[in-house]
Structure 1
């Protein structure tokens, strides 16, 4: 059973994030063989989007400067991050990450992303192009991005737990 990630970012960001949600990909009907994909506006090769995977497994896209919580309409998600596409002999994922400090999803959310991309008919590699690991400090409650497998709080220096604890 996949983990459902709830928004863990600042309340004022969620309040001011807008009405969302992101637009589903694909739109109603088949994907065009070439040319731009419709949501959120024409999908341009190389453009980076904010994405979430809804609890129903649907990939939702929003402009990169959007908050993930807005893209999700404030709801929990199966995955969140940033994504870009390329077009050569069809649409492919160019880059995809789990970079979302609002939801802090683990790299293990990849199967939800892959399933949503498969359902949308978009080809992809077998993993994130860049993975991020988040932990909440048990001493000061700060959310940390773990770098180079160093599980130490950036603010207070306390040890961070090996397992996900952000939610």
Structure 2
């Protein structure tokens, strides 16, 4: 698969990445056959919940249980996108009925959707035309805290500075972690 999008490095807590085991990572879904094998190994209860996903820089979808960290699903590597995904069975095929870019470890921009779409198409899965829930991540240029923007309110809850319109989460020096604006300072 050709890689076309921006890649995202892990920007979450360092202690989560530090405990990764070599060879770990989510289950790679590069084809309809891969997805069939993966689904056959899941219980009905598991399939009723969303899953953690990443799209690796190789363009391949990787899946892990919902409570998995995205950095673990990616094996610590950079990704083209990350988030949560839910599948539903339709007559004759599986389809994605809910998918978001909600990953506080990678904070991918909503513009990462085309990479997700290509990975889902490559796996033979029906899909929506975009993220069903878009999460907007921004880093404050004033205090350098990272936030989830809610209701298009591009103002830092930590210091009151204006947040940029364009994605800017990955700081050049690698400092900082994401904090959800609903909960305020951690």
TM-score, normalised via structure 1 length: 0.89
| Contact 1:17-1:66 at 8 Å conserved across structures | no
Whole-Å separation in 1 of the counterparts to 2:16 and 2:27: 20
The number of residue pairs the alignment matches comes to 164
User: Which secondary structure does the structure 2 equivalent of 1:29 belong to?
Assistant: helix
1:120 aligns with 2:126: no
Whole-Å separation in 2 of the counterparts to 1:26 and 1:52: 12
Look up the match of 2:50.
48
Whole-Å separation in 1 of the counterparts to 2:94 and 2:135: 25
Look up the match of 1:150.
153
Q: Deviations over 1:2-57 (max 9, x none)?
A: 1001111111121135553101125783654xx97146x45754321000001111
Look up the match of 1:65.
67
Structure 1 residues 59 and 30: CA distance shift in structure 2, 3 A: closer
Whole-Å separation in 2 of the counterparts to 1:28 and 1:152: 43
User: Which secondary structure does the structure 2 equivalent of 1:126 belong to?
Assistant: coil
Query: Which structure's residues are more often helix, by fraction?
Result: 2
Structure 1 residues 86 and 29: CA distance shift in structure 2, 3 A: closer
Out of 16, 19, 29, which is 2:19 matched to?
16
Whole-Å separation in 1 of the counterparts to 2:82 and 2:8: 9
Q: Shift in Å at residue 115 of structure 1?
A: 0.4
Whole-Å separation in 2 of the counterparts to 1:87 and 1:36: 14
Whole-Å separation in 1 of the counterparts to 2:52 and 2:34: 22
1:86 aligns with 2:84: no
Structure 1 residues 146 and 30: CA distance shift in structure 2, 3 A: closer
User: Which secondary structure does the structure 2 equivalent of 1:128 belong to?
Assistant: coil
TM-score, normalised via structure 2 length: 0.81
1:29 aligns with 2:33: yes
Structure 1 residues 30 and 21: CA distance shift in structure 2, 3 A: closer
| Contact 1:36-1:42 at 8 Å conserved across structures | no
Q: Shift in Å at residue 94 of structure 1?
A: 1.5
Whole-Å separation in 1 of the counterparts to 2:78 and 2:38: 29
